[in-house]
Amino acid sequence: MENLIIKKTDTTPYVNIDCDKGTITIEGICIPENPHEFFEPIRKKIDCIKKTNSEILFDIYLEYFNTAASKNLLELFLTVSNKEDSEISSKVIWRIEDEEDEEAIEQGEIFQDITKIPFEIVAVN
């Protein structure tokens, strides 16, 4: 299966999906003009990974993201936390700038509470 790489821009993050390893890396600023269009190839690739892998690891480090991006991230997480896909285990490494960034920590915890996916919150400093 072919990997997906999306180059970073001023408004969109770098994305690297390694289909063989089942890893999804998203890094940078995420304020896309059309969030649904930006996230659509990521959703499609996750659907392909779910058919061939038993584990999906998200590695997320977003310096800033808007509400629309947050909604789309949640939808990505929910696609792998679906009860029908119980044979797929998933985990999110939620990287934050600073261990005292309460807003980023809270956002990761909210995602975890909603999706029931284990989140490991890691300060990059």
The number of folded domains in the chain is 1
Supply the CATH number for residue 118's domain.
3.30.750
Global pTM value: 0.92
pLDDT tens column, 83-101: 555 567 899 999 999 889 9
Q: Note down the domain range covering 18.
A: 4-123
Residue type at position 63: E
Residue 81 binned pLDDT confidence (cut-offs 50, 70, 90) = confident
Q: What is the pLDDT of residues 103-119, one digit of tens each?
A: 999 999 999 999 999 99
Instruction: Name every residue whose Cβ is closer than 8 Å to that of residue 23 and which is 6 or more positions away in sequence.
Output: 16, 17, 56, 57, 58, 59
Q: Is 13 helix (H, G, I), strand (E, B) or coil?
A: coil
